[in-house]
Structure formats: C-alpha cells, structure tokens
Amino acid sequence: MSVTAACRHLDRVLSELAAEYGNLEVVREPREVSAEEYDRLHNRVRHFDSCGGAGAWLRDSSGRVLLVESDEGWREPGATRQPGDDPLDCARQAVRDQTGLDPRLTNVRHVHVRYCQDWTERDSIPLPFVVFTGDAAGEPHEGARWHESVPEDRLYDLLGELSD
C-alpha cells in the first residue's frame, strides 16, 4: 500500500463508519515523526491492508473515565489495527487486553486522524484512530485506572473532553 493507497484506505474507513454510525467527527492533526519512524510506518502501510487503530472512551456507572498509563501520559485503551481487523473488534480487544474489563461499546465518538510527516517533506501518512464510546464495570488490572476527571498528564488535549 502506497501513501496514496493509505489515503484511499482512510476514505474507505470513514465512509464505512459513516454508513454504520451516521455523521462522524473527524479530528485531523499533523504529527511530526522522525525519518526512522516515518520509514517504519511507511513499511507497515506498504505491507498490510490496514493502518491506524482503535480505542474507547469508557465510563462506569458513577461517571468515572477509564484510562491506561503510557510513557507519555494517561490515554484511552486502544491498539494498532492488525490486517483484516474491524475497528470495533480492535477497540474491544484493546480494552480487554489493557484493562481486563469487558466493554459495551455503543457509538463512534470521533476518528482521530494523525498525518505523520518527517523533515524530508515526503507525503504525509494518514493514520486513522477510531474512538468508540461505551461503558464498563469492575476494577481494571494494573496500568489502568478509573478517574473522576481526566488528569492533566494526558497523552493529548482532546482527552480533556472526557471530563465534560
């Protein structure tokens, strides 16, 4: 898959999600990566039929939000899609793997598209990350935690909307 094919893949993903879930919010963000990271992403895009990932913004019955720790701050549970993965299945499995909880995913919150680029001015690689909403119950395992509000040390600013 070339960068052009990755753009077509993005269009296909967005069309399929819109057909199933209705209007979508698409958050587009440029992301500067190293030349090595760009090459790694480009190779992944070239060799697999999918790119991007999926995750979930989850609440419990008390309204708390479920987040997992990462080196860069708290984030929603999520994972890179593997070839042939459905975004919903990817998100559900990521929640199970990263928290030990079984989520009930109800809708698409937004699609966060990161356009990865490096200093060489090569074409940006679009990586769609589908974010579902839903709920879960129980105590997550180590590395995940329920929060009354989204902490300041979060992976990206948009997560702050979970506190609303």
89-112 pLDDT per residue, tens: 999 999 999 999 999 999 999 999
Contact 11, 52 (CB under 8 A): no
Q: What is the DSSP letter of 81?
A: P
How many C-beta neighbours within 10 Å does residue 133 have? 17
* Amino acid 50: pLDDT: 58
**Two tokens at 77?**
């549970």
DSSP assignment string, 98-128: HHS---EEEEEEEEEEEEEE-TT-PPPEEEE
pLDDT tops 80 at residue 2: no
* Amino acid 48: pLDDT: 63
Domain 3-163 homologous superfamily, CATH: Nucleoside Triphosphate Pyrophosphohydrolase (3.90.79.10)
Question: Which tops the pLDDT comparison, 144 or 114?
Answer: 144
* Amino acid 146: pLDDT: 96
Least reliable range by pLDDT among 54-63, 91-100, 115-124, 140-149: 115-124
Q: What residue type is 126 in one-letter code?
A: P
Q: What is the DSSP letter of 87?
A: H
**Two tokens at 5?**
């094919």
